[in-house]
Amino acid sequence: MVRIRLRRVGSKGQPSYRIVIADSRSPRNGRFIEKIGFYNPRTEPATIEVDESRALTWLQNGAQPSESVERLFRTAGTLARFERLRQGEALEALVSEAESNKIVVDPRTRRDDLWAKRAGSKSAAGEAVAAE
């Protein structure tokens, strides 16, 4: 069976994922058929990039998304567009709609940077209260 699933990339402690089409018997980071997207949970908000035309084509041909990819597709709106494709809407119209709804996130924005800023501001506020 063909699955749409995540393939981990990135260094230790800094995960990011590729959304790939792979045989269900191949290992997580092993052989895959095609790369159709990217997911970076370390940005705020998380970056989800999906090649809608390829994702919809694979879903139409019977590829099953994993639970995590299904959640990402719901967030990105891909599953809703797939249901509309099954009801008869044109693929080109759905892909152009996906392109117009794409959210641009700066990939340099990282959550641990945000946490450091928040922790720094709280400790500075705590020190000011303690000094009084």
pLDDT in tens, 90-109: 887 888 777 777 766 665 66
| Model pLDDT, residue 90 | 81
Does this model's pTM top 0.75? My answer is no
CA distance 54 to 60: 10
**Pair 77, 70: CB distance under 8 Å:** no
81, 97 Cβ separation under 8 angstroms: yes
pLDDT over 90 (residue 110): no
Parent domain of 23: 2-131
pLDDT digits (tens, 9 = 90+) for 113-131: 655 666 665 555 455 445 5
On the 0-12 / 13-18 / 19+ scale of CB atoms within 10 A, 33 is middle
Q: What is the CATH number of the domain that holds 21?
A: 3.30.1320.10
Residue 132 has pLDDT above 60, yes or no: no
Q: Residues of the chain with pLDDT > 70: what percent?
A: 77
The span from the CA of 39 to the CA of 114, in Å, is: 19
As for how many domains the chain has, the answer is: 1
